[in-house]
Structures are given as structure tokens and as C-alpha cells.
Amino acid sequence: MNDAWSLFTEDAASHYGVDEKLISAIISVESGGNPTVVSRSNAVGLMQIKAATAGREVYRAQGRHGQPSNSELRDPAKNIDIGAAYIRILQDSALAGIRDPLTLRYATIVSYANGAGALLRTFSRDRDRAIAMINAMTPDEFYQHVQNKHPAA
């Protein structure tokens, strides 16, 4: 991965309390370090942010209206900041209550790529029940469940 992004990943990790290695791994997998890449589903930049979903959610959490522009999402510093903020939102809202740190990491990765709702529905339509079911599993059992039940697996 490009060391040019390391300052941005360090800053975002520190600001949002997100693991810097997780941010770097998402960049590597999602964009291969290409800040201008746009997916078929219109995800943009290093962390492959969809403006209308993750971008809008981050803006809302920051008290802003609307969603980020494509040029904003192509800016490495802004893209990484929005991506890290989205990870924090996932962990503090939809995934809140997952107790095992490794299971939370797995759940965050799956949710970042495919949405927390899709992940939780593989356990139950009721969020609290889904979290309880996740907490009853080891990280390996969680991983196997996702491999076997998640529609994007």
C-alpha cells in the first residue's frame, strides 16, 4: 500500500478511535490504493465510499446536510476520514454490543463492505437477538456462519 496515505490513516484512526491497520486493509482490498477508482456500484476512492449511503450517514452524524461530492471522495484525506468515521458509526450503532474484539473486527469488515443490516439479518431480523446470537459464538463460529449464510459470501 502507498505510504502516502499513512499520515491520513494515522490521523483518522486517532480521531475516530479506529484501528489504523483496519483502515489500511480496507484501502488495500477496496481500491488497491487507487484514489480515483469508481466501482460499478458508484463507490468512490480509496475506501470505496458510496456517497448516498455511507457518505450521507457520516454527514448526518457530523451534523451536516447532504452527502459528499465525487471530488470530495476522490480526495485521499477526505475519503479516509469519511471511511474511518463510517467504521466508527458501524461499531457504535449497528454493531454495538458485540463483545469479542475479533468478532467485532470481522463484523465491521463484513458490514463495511455489504451493510450491517445484511449481516445482522443472517442471524435474526431483530437486532438485539442478532447481537445476542453473535455474542454466543466464538470468532471462528461467527466467521463460519458468515461464510455459510451471508448472501455476499
Residue type, 14: S
pTM of the model: 0.92
In sequence order, which residues have a C-beta less than 8 Å from that of residue 145 and are 6 or more positions away?
Answer: 122, 123, 137
C-alpha–C-alpha distance, residues 8 and 5, integer Å:
5
Low-confidence ranges of the chain (pLDDT < 70): 1-3, 152-153
The per-residue pLDDT for 59 is: 98
> How many C-beta atoms lie closer than 10 Å to residue 39's C-beta?
12
The per-residue pLDDT for 4 is: 79
The per-residue pLDDT for 94 is: 94
Q: CB–CB of 29/56 below 8 Å?
A: no
Strand, helix or coil for residue 133: helix
Give the length of the chain. Answer: 153
The per-residue pLDDT for 150 is: 77
pLDDT tens string 76-95? 999 999 999 999 999 999 99
Q: What is the mean pLDDT of the chain?
A: 94
Ordered domains of the chain (ranges, CATH): 1-93 (1.10.530.10), 99-153 (no CATH)
The per-residue pLDDT for 153 is: 58
Break the chain down into helix, strand, coil percent, rounded to 5.
65, 0, 35
